[in-house]
Structure 1
Amino acid sequence: MMPQTAIIEICEKYKVYTEHYLNTAADKTIILVNGSLATTASFAQTVRYLQPRFNVVLYDQPYAGQSRLHNLHDQPIRKEDEAQILLALIEHFRVDHVLSFSWGGAATLLALAQRPRRIEKAVINSFSARINTPMRDYLERGLNHLQACDRLNIGHLINSTIGKHLPSLFKRFNHRHVSNLAEHEYRQMHFHVNEVLTQDTHCYVACADAIEIPLLFVNGEWDEYTSAEDARLFAKHAPQSRFHTIKNTGHFLDMEHSAAWNDAQHTLLGFLQPAPRVALPLDSGQRGIVSDRDYSCSAAQG
């Protein structure tokens, strides 16, 4: 099904391209938040299993994809701005759930810390609470390539680090996309990476302290950049946090192979749409016993 597309004006400042996949049988809406340098196209694999169950909203940041032609790019956008954009879209589309990928998790946690009244649950994919050594090395190398607007090496860096477990076709698509961005997008990413490297990432943990809804953190077993172990630092702070590790998978999760796609689908849908409580048959003289088949990540924690 083709989505309804629109340009949404936010805070009389930004114009954001959106895709709205409507499902007349669904009573819940989920919004997907991109990672760095990505557009709505990066969620193609995810939409395949979400659209039959939900209304799905995708969007491009003001500097990227089909939003960039509608905005001025005279100054970089902060993660706080991205959080406000997300909050505005949540209200506009009457969103119930949020799913973020990679550094989209930063804006998502900032937004959720403001406790938007509509949001019931959120899934944070490939995001961790600290900058570990592999991630710092990746970001510092990226900073140099972005500063020089070195398009080819930016694409090569992504495919040889966080994207190293992607299939070759996806790597070619990645390289073509990343090496053909507008110059302001490289400036935006340089600003973003520099911000990540120089600011204390404890702010994301502090955000988790303020979030009361259930959160599911999903990380790949082979992802050394946003590792499952680092993601678990949120456990002490988010009161309703759960964790799941997708086996034999790196940073890009459901894009890497079919088994990962199936695991990601099962995990996400089990969290957002748990199986109903089922009444067992009555034995003589006994009350009916209710079996809670709600999904729990505890058995699959990696």
Structure 2
Amino acid sequence: MNAASDLCFFTSSDGELAYRDAGAGDLVVLLHSGFVDHRVFEAQIPALAAGYRVIAPDVRGHGASANATRPFRWADDLAALLRHLDAGPAALVGVSMGGAIATDTVLEYPELVRAVVVSGAATSEFEYTDPWVRQVQAEQARALGAGDIEGWVAAFLRFVPGEHRTLDDVDPAVLTRLREMALGTLAKHTPDEENHHVPMTDTWSRVPKIDVPVLTVNGALDAPDLIAEAERLARTVPDGRCATVEGTAHYPDMERPDAFNEIVTGFLGSL
């Protein structure tokens, strides 16, 4: 699954974007969290590919996808890929940053989306207020500014257990996979590199117009403000619902894949 030969490539307007393509049937797109790549969904791709065509891209600047050389938006990249595949509309399943991409895409390109699942996310217009999270983010910024890659990774991995657990409470294999992916993505970039990503604005005023089913899946131990924002998303759309995965924080898909898969497949089967 991790071999480069398993990847397909789409020639976008700014370099090649990589993705996995597995299974057959209605289209489901898996959108990974920040600093990692499609391998976050190692436990979801085969499970979903049993009944669906599963596309798992590497977001621009992550994994095997090209870095940006000019301004871009996540939603535009995903829309271009979906049109290239000519297989939609798609159910979008995103974790963290990937969840924000899913929501942004249904707002901008509603004709390409038939359902949305967001885990640990709402729209892309979110800023943490939780003191513990902001402290960890400050540690990441300090480490990155000092060129301390190991320090940055150590801080990044603290989001896996969350505030109320320790790394010892997490399967070491999950931490190893996340560390490997994060180091791979960091290696693609330089400290002085310009950030070409163009954020979307005024998203919440459009959320009530989302006319496809939306499911939020939250790890019960994730940051309280993030959980509240996800629940707000589910309340604000016409057809929204929430699910919780106990005993996990920001990566329920990795820590409790069976529970996560059951929730997602049940939702997809109801469409």
TM-score class normalised by the smaller sequence:
0.7 to 0.9
Unaligned runs of 5+ in 1: 275-293, 295-302
Shift of 1:228: 2.8
Q: Which of 92, 101, 105 does residue 107 from structure 1 map onto?
A: 101
38 and 51 in structure 1: CA distance in 2 versus 1, 3 angstrom threshold: same
Q: Which of 69, 74, 79 does residue 87 from structure 1 map onto?
A: 79
Deviations 1:64-110 (A, max 9, x none): 22223xx5x556x65xx111011112222223211111112222211
Q: Tell me the residue number matched to 2:177.
A: 173
Instruction: Answer yes or no: is the 8 Å Cα contact 2:27–2:55 preserved in 1.
Output: yes
Shift of 1:138: 2.7
236 and 216 in structure 1: CA distance in 2 versus 1, 3 angstrom threshold: closer
Q: Give SS of 2:11's match.
A: strand
Q: Which amino acid aligns with 1:31?
A: V
Instruction: Answer yes or no: is the 8 Å Cα contact 1:154–1:179 preserved in 2.
Output: no
Shift of 1:21: 0.6
33 and 102 in structure 1: CA distance in 2 versus 1, 3 angstrom threshold: same
Instruction: Answer yes or no: is the 8 Å Cα contact 2:41–2:253 preserved in 1.
Output: no
Q: Tell me the residue number matched to 1:287.
A: none
Q: Which amino acid aligns with 1:271?
A: F
Q: Tell me the residue number matched to 2:116.
A: 122
Q: Tell me the residue number matched to 1:15.
A: 16
Shift of 1:218: 0.4
Consecutive aligned runs of 4 or more in structure 1 exceeding 3 Å deviation = 1-5, 162-166, 185-188, 190-193, 201-204
Q: CA RMSD in A?
A: 3.0
Q: Which amino acid aligns with 1:169?
A: A
Shift of 1:8: 0.8
Q: Tell me the residue number matched to 1:149.
A: 147
Q: Which amino acid aligns with 1:173?
A: R
Deviations 1:92-144 (A, max 9, x none): 22232111111122222111102431321110111145523133333232222
90 and 4 in structure 1: CA distance in 2 versus 1, 3 angstrom threshold: same
Q: Which of 246, 260, 266 does residue 264 from structure 1 map onto?
A: 260
Instruction: Answer yes or no: is the 8 Å Cα contact 1:221–1:247 preserved in 2.
Output: yes
234 and 30 in structure 1: CA distance in 2 versus 1, 3 angstrom threshold: same
Q: Which amino acid aligns with 2:187?
A: A
Shift of 1:245: 0.7
Instruction: Answer yes or no: is the 8 Å Cα contact 1:209–1:239 preserved in 2.
Output: yes
Q: Which of 113, 128, 134 does residue 136 from structure 1 map onto?
A: 134
Q: Which amino acid aligns with 1:63?
A: G
Q: Which amino acid aligns with 1:82?
A: W
Question: How many angstroms apart in 2 are the aligned matches of 1:136 and 1:215?
Answer: 28
178 and 36 in structure 1: CA distance in 2 versus 1, 3 angstrom threshold: same
Q: Which has the higher contact order (CA 8 A, sep 6+)?
A: 2
TM-score with structure 2 setting the length: 0.81
Q: Give SS of 1:184's match.
A: coil
Q: Which amino acid aligns with 2:115?
A: K
Question: How many angstroms apart in 2 are the aligned matches of 1:238 and 1:185?
Answer: 39
Q: Give SS of 1:65's match.
A: coil
Q: Which amino acid aligns with 2:254?
A: M
Shift of 1:179: 3.6
Question: How many angstroms apart in 2 are the aligned matches of 1:31 and 1:114?
Answer: 16
Larger CA deviation: 216-225 vs 144-153: 144-153
Larger CA deviation: 30-39 vs 136-145: 136-145
Which is higher, the Rg of structure 1 or of structure 2?
1
Equivalence map 1:1-302=2 (5 Å): 5-10=7-12, 12-23=13-24, 26=25, 28-68=26-66, 71=67, 73-74=68-69, 81-93=73-85, 94-95=87-88, 96-128=90-122, 131-133=128-130, 134-163=132-161, 164=167, 166-180=170-184, 181-182=186-187, 184=189, 191=195, 203-224=202-223, 227-256=226-255, 260-274=256-270
